[in-house]
Structure 1
Amino acid sequence: MGPSPAEIVRTLVAGRLPGLVHLAHRPGPYHVRHATDADGRVLLLVPVVSDLAAELHPGTAEDVAVVLDVLDLPPAAGAPSLGRAWVSGWAAPLTGAAARDAAAEFAAVDPTGDLLDVGTRFRMHRFEVVEARLEGAGTVRRIDPTGYAAATPDPLHPVEAALLADLADHHEPEVTAYLRRRLDLTGGRPRVVRLDRYGLVVAYGGPGDRRRARLPFPHPVADPAELSRLLHPMLCPRAAAARPDVRPAG
């Protein structure tokens, strides 16, 4: 089992990756700092003096149709991409208490000091996602907005690159031995190239070989601390023999 398309979109647009905003019938796209709140609504942190700010304030009371475009950045060489997320809605500026509350939710993802200047140098905009799509492997999948709102971002995504680097730099012999046992491999050098709350993605085979396998966890991981406990058998062979916590997909 792996993340659902809705979970992938929520993870990509959470605010950890660079985003572009496209506006209907206007030039662009525009680079934007963004995050999502607990309900999946998109928050845009926009400098008051900028082309994007001017386009988001067309001089009427109408909200502006926007599309947020976020492309996954694989965390390691040879890692597969999660794809590209597109979410759209009608952006409205926030003021007063609504802007302060949105800034607090934004800070939970990206605690930038510019949030202290919301209302002066920066303005917060928000939109509810009315359409979501996930592009990858030559296909585009439409995601039900209700399913998108109900999904949650992967808690390991913000630290995925650091976790993979730690496994490769400090635990390579143990990880390689563990993966060979679990995948019944005799040659090659299996590598963990992605991880998420549901398990590990492993690349194996010789140079140019793109074969991959998923090793699922016994249950979804809630946070990095739980992942650490779950991976202990991989890094400690005696514990692995006694309690194999990570099992290969059948």
Structure 2
Amino acid sequence: MRPSPAEIVRTLVAGRLPGLAHVARRPGPHQVRHVTDPDGRVLLLVPVVSDLAAALRPAAGETDVALVLDVLDLPPAAGAPSLGRAWVSGWATRLDGARERRAALDFAEVEPTGDLLDVGTRFRLHRFEVAEARWERADAVRRIDPTAYAEAEPDPLHPVEAGLLADLAEHHAAEMAAYLRRQLGLADTGPDTAPRVVRIDRYGLLVAHGRPGARRRARLTFPRPLTGEAELARVLPPMLCRHAAARHADHA
């Protein structure tokens, strides 16, 4: 099992990665702070005095503006493959009153920035429902059904993936390499060929192994999709179990 294209797009646009807003018939693109709410709708936190605010101002007689949000994955570690790029589009509307207050709570669930306290004065929230979604990877573009996108869930491990990979590389490289060799049936031919985890998602681990210049990749699948970081303690070897449990306790 592995993430579906719809899940990958939901993960990329969830709000943990930088985004660019392309507004129809306006100069740009614009850097934008964004998240997605539980239904997959995109929320944009926009300074009142900014080029983006001006671009999002509807033309006379209209209430919304066509917009494309562009999000590129940032690999969480050296040598890790990118998940690609997500493009989602729709018609952005500025929120106000009770709708804006509810949207601010949804935004805070993903990114609890202090600027949300100034929503309605220095900042405004805009929202759009995704009408079209595309996933770009390896120079190929795949269209994602908007219903599949809305029903998918962002990967719960994506926000902590970089920290987990860094901990493995810095503190558990030898133990993890031995574990991966056993799981993949690889011979110990030296440190240059040692397997290492390069990505983690709710479905499993992506492992790179082999000599530099001839690296191969393999997936190790978890017994079931994980719902969060705490569940890593039940599916990974003891040296990472302790780390995952400690991080979960600190977060709680």
Normalised to the residue count of structure 2, the TM-score between the two structures is 0.91
CA contact (8 A) 1:198 1:221 kept: yes
TM-aligned CA deviation for residue 234 of structure 1:
6.8
Equivalent residue of 1:154, what SS? Answer: coil
Alpha-carbon distance between aligned partners in 2 of 1:228 and 1:85, rounded to the nearest angstrom:
31
- Alignment partner of 2:234 out of 213, 220, 229: 229
Which whole-Å deviations, capped at 9, do the CAs of 1:132-191 have from their partners, x for residues lacking one? 000001210000000000000000000000011111112112111011111111121101
C-alpha displacement at 1:235, in angstroms? 5.3
Is the Cα–Cα contact under 8 Å of residues 178 and 234 in structure 1 kept in the other structure?
no
CA-to-aligned-CA distance 1:175-233 (integer Å, 9 cap, x gap):
11011111111121101000000000000001122310000001001100001221135
Distance 1:105 1:94, change over 3 A: same
Moved more, 158-167 or 58-67: 58-67
> Could you say which residue in structure 1 is the equivalent of 2:172?
171
Describe how 1:134-213 pairs up with structure 2 within 5 A. 134-186=135-187, 187=189, 188-213=193-218
Contact 2:168 2:240 in 1 (8 A): no
| Displacement of 1:29 | 0.2
Structure 2 SS opposite 1:97: helix
- Cross-structure match for 1:240: none
CA–CA distance in 2 between the matches of 1:162 and 1:70? Answer: 21
* Inter-partner Cα distance in structure 1 for 2:231 and 2:224: 11
Looking at structure 2, the residues matched to 59 and 7 of structure 1 have their Cα atoms a distance apart, in angstroms, of: 34
Following superposition, which runs of at least 4 residues in structure 1 exceed 2 angstroms of deviation? 58-62, 232-236
Distance 1:177 1:217 in 2: 18
Aligned to 2:92: 91
**In 2, distance between residues paired with 1:223 and 1:94?**
32
CA distance in 2, matches of 1:220, 1:49: 44
Equivalent in the alignment of 1:39: 39
Does the CA contact (< 8 Å) of 2:233 and 2:240 recur in 1?
Answer: no
How far the C-alpha of 1:62 sits from its partner, in A, is: 3.0
Q: Is the CA contact (8 Å cut-off) linking 1:14 and 1:153 kept in structure 2? A: yes
The alignment-based identity, stated in percent, is 75
CA contact (8 A) 1:190 1:203 kept: yes
SS in 2 for 1:231: coil
Q: 2 CA distance for matches of 1:127 and 1:155?
A: 23
Instruction: Work out whether 1:72 is the aligned partner of 2:69.
Output: no
Per the alignment, do residues 28 and 51 of structure 1 end up closer, same or farther by CA in structure 2, a change over 3 Å counting? Answer: same
Give the partner amino acid of 1:69: D
SS at match of 2:92: strand
The alignment partner of 1:200 has SS state of: strand
Say if 1:117 and 1:165 are closer, same or farther in 2 by CA, change over 3 A. Answer: same
**Distance (Å, rounded) in 1 between the aligned partners of 2:24 and 2:100:** 24
Q: Distance in 2 between matches of 1:161 and 1:137?
A: 22
Counterpart residue identity of residue 180, structure 1: R
Q: Could you tell me which residue of structure 1 aligns to residue 54 of structure 2?
A: 54
The 2-side partners of 1:162 and 1:235 are apart by 12
Task: Say how many residue pairs are matched.
Answer: 236
- Greater shift after overlay, 197-206 or 173-182? 173-182
RMSD of aligned residue pairs (Cα, Å): 1.2
Quote the Cα distance in structure 2 between the aligned partners of 1:208 and 1:84: 25
Distance across 2 between alignment mates of 1:224 and 1:166? 14
Contact kept in structure 1, 2:18 and 2:32, CA below 8 Å: yes
1:72, 1:94 → 2: CA distance?
A: 28
